[in-house]
Each structure stands twice: as C-alpha cells, then as structure tokens.
Amino acid sequence: MTPPLVSIRGLCVTLGGNAVLKDVHADIVRGQITSLIGLNGSGKTTLLRAVLKEVPYTGQISFHCGHDHTHQNPNHVGYVPQKLRLEGNVPITVRDLLALALQKRPLFFGIKAAVRAQMVTMLARVGASPALLDRPADRISGGELQRVLLALALEPNPELLLLDEPAAGVDFQDQESFYELIARLNRERGVSILLVSHDLSVVSRHAHHVLCLKDGLIQCQGTPREMLNDAMLRQTFGADRAVFAHGHHH
Ligand SMILES: Nc1ncnc2c1ncn2[C@@H]1O[C@H](COP(=O)(O)OP(=O)(O)O)[C@@H](O)[C@H]1O
Ligand SMILES: [Mg+2]
C-alpha cells in the first residue's frame, strides 16, 4: 500500500468550549481522492482547518511529503473554502482579486506583465475563459467563482487540495463539469485531494476512499462501494439518511 501523504492520529479540537473533534484517526492517501462525509455540524470543516493549522489542536497531523510543516498554513496545501459569499461585497474585477492574492503589493502599483500572463495560465488550467478577468468578481456565476478559487488554490502546484463542499450553490450542469475537472487534476497532476461533499453520487463516482465523520469521530471508512450502502449510511447519517438517498448509486 502507498504510504499516506497525511496521517492524522488522536486529533482533538475544542472550539468555544465544544469538543468538536474527539480522537480522529485517518489517513489521506497520496495521489487519491479521499472524501469526507457526515451530517452538518459533525466537524468536517474543522478537520480541514486543523490540517491547515488554522485551529488549535492536540494529537498529530503528520505530513510525509518532504516539506517543512512546522509553520502556519503550509503553502503547498491548496484550499477552497465552503461558501465564500462575494455577492455585492467585492466591487473589483477578477483580475484585481487575483492580483491581490498573487502580488504582495498594493494594486495602485499596477500588475506586473508576468503576473498578467500567469493569470491567463491559471484560468486555462481550470477551464475558465480569460474574459472572466474583466468581470466584477461579485457578478460572476457560482460555478465561475469556484473555478477562480480553485485556480488560486492550485497556485503554486500544491501536493494536497482541501475542498470544502466546493460545488455547493453551483448549477447542476456546472457541478458535473467542476467534479470532472477535479478528477482530471487528480489523474493528470497526481494532486491528492480531501473532498467534503454532500453529494453521494459524486462521492461514489470520484472518491477512492471515504471517511465518515460522526460526532467528532471517524465512524467508519472504506471504499465508496463499502461505505455507500444503507447500513453504513444509517450509521453516519442516522434517520436523516433518507435526505441523501437520491445520491445513492450502486
Ligand atoms: N469557532 C467556533 N466556536 C464554537 N463552536 C464552533 C466553532 N466553529 C465550529 N463550531 C462547532 O463545531 C461543530 C462542527 O462544525 P463544522 O466543523 O463547521 O461542521 P461541518 O463542516 O461538518 O458542518 C458545530 O457544532 C459548530 O457549531
Ligand atoms: Mg462545513
């Protein structure tokens, strides 16, 4: 078996007095898509934020990738957060949004030619048109915004991508092509992915391994075939399982 890219052992996170993660043991396997499923409030986002070192934790999160992980926010880990709402709040173009992230200097100094070229390459990588650069960032569609955020997360060439319900709020057609893109990035670039998704048909089609989180613990884990059946889903989702039944494919 390939060694894990990240091994998580005895991970505990307490936030505002709540024990959110209570002794999580899990591996993120190199080169694979690992899917994290569980009810709302089960701690999925918190687990991603612990891997990013954005929340205090006890236990071990060990990276086996040859990079130094003693510092905050390992920069070869890309992250697409859950529900970034820009509507009406960011009156700047996609070009300026990307420039703010890519250049460590104020926009009024202008955007370097090399950075302008880099933006076109970044958008091409995620199948987005360079015409997006001129559009206001708060007026593009949910699917377009997710591609822009994914393009940023892929810079510069992370070994691990953390995707937190990346297609929530995206049209169905756009969701399909977004997940195809994720699967292609995994196949062609070998980037390892930890994907939080509520869509069990997406999980069954694209994940290699499934982690089921319940009440801050990994309740069960295995291949999609092993996990996406009535008995396992009832363990993870309880009575709410029916909500997810539409995505249950054999
Ligand atoms: N900063 C915080 N302070 C207190 N409780 C928090 C904080 N962040 C998250 N929680 C709680 O932790 C639990 C897990 O949250 P989260 O990781 O966002 O779950 P999920 O992503 O699975 O929906 C929830 O009960 C949530 O209310
Ligand atoms: Mg969440």
- Say yes or no: CB of residue 243 within 6 Å of ligand 1: no
Express as a percent the part of the chain with pLDDT over 90.
Answer: 65
| Centre of ligand 1 from the C-alpha of residue 212, in Å | 16
Question: What pLDDT, in 10s, does the model give residues 144-187?
Answer: 999 999 999 999 889 999 999 998 878 888 888 999 999 999 99
> Which amino acid residue places its CA nearest to atom 24 of ligand 1?
41
Which of 157, 175, 197 terminates a domain? The answer is 157
Q: Are residues 111 and 127 in the same domain?
A: yes
Q: Would you state the structure tokens that stand for residue 4, as one six-digit string?
A: 């894990």
Specify whether the CB–CB gap between 194 and 28 falls below 8 A.
Answer: yes
Q: Which atom of ligand 1 is nearest to the CA of 38?
A: 22
Contacts for 193 with CB less than 8 Å, ≥ 6 apart: 32, 33, 34, 160, 161, 162, 163, 182, 185, 186
C-beta of residue 165 within 8 angstroms of C-beta of residue 198 = yes
| Residue linked to tokens 């999925």 | 44
Does residue 175 fall inside a structural domain? yes
CA of 64 to the centre of ligand 2 (A): 26
Task: Count CA atoms closer than 13 A to 42's CA, side-chain side.
Answer: 22
pLDDT of amino acid 250: 39
Ligand 2 centre from 184 Cα, in Å?
A: 24
Say whether both 90 and 128 belong to one domain: yes
Residue 91 has pLDDT above 60, yes or no: yes
Residue 58 alpha carbon to ligand 2 centre in Å: 20
Q: Who has greater pLDDT, 107 or 51?
A: 51
Last residue of a domain, one of 127, 157, 187: 157
Q: What pLDDT is recorded for position 215? A: 92
Cβ–ligand 1 contact at 45 (below 6 Å): yes
CA atoms within 13 A on the CB side of 183: 13
Handedness of CA 91, 147, 210, 79 (dihedral sign): negative
pTM reported for the whole predicted model:
0.90
Mean pLDDT of 55-64: 94
Question: Residues 133-144: pLDDT tens digits?
Answer: 999 988 898 889
pLDDT above 70 for 217: yes
User: Is there an atom of ligand 1 within 6 Å of 197 CB?
Assistant: no
State whether 117 and 172 are in the same domain. Answer: no
Decide: 236 in ligand 1 pocket, CB within 6 A.
Answer: no
Residue 115 falls within a domain, yes or no? yes
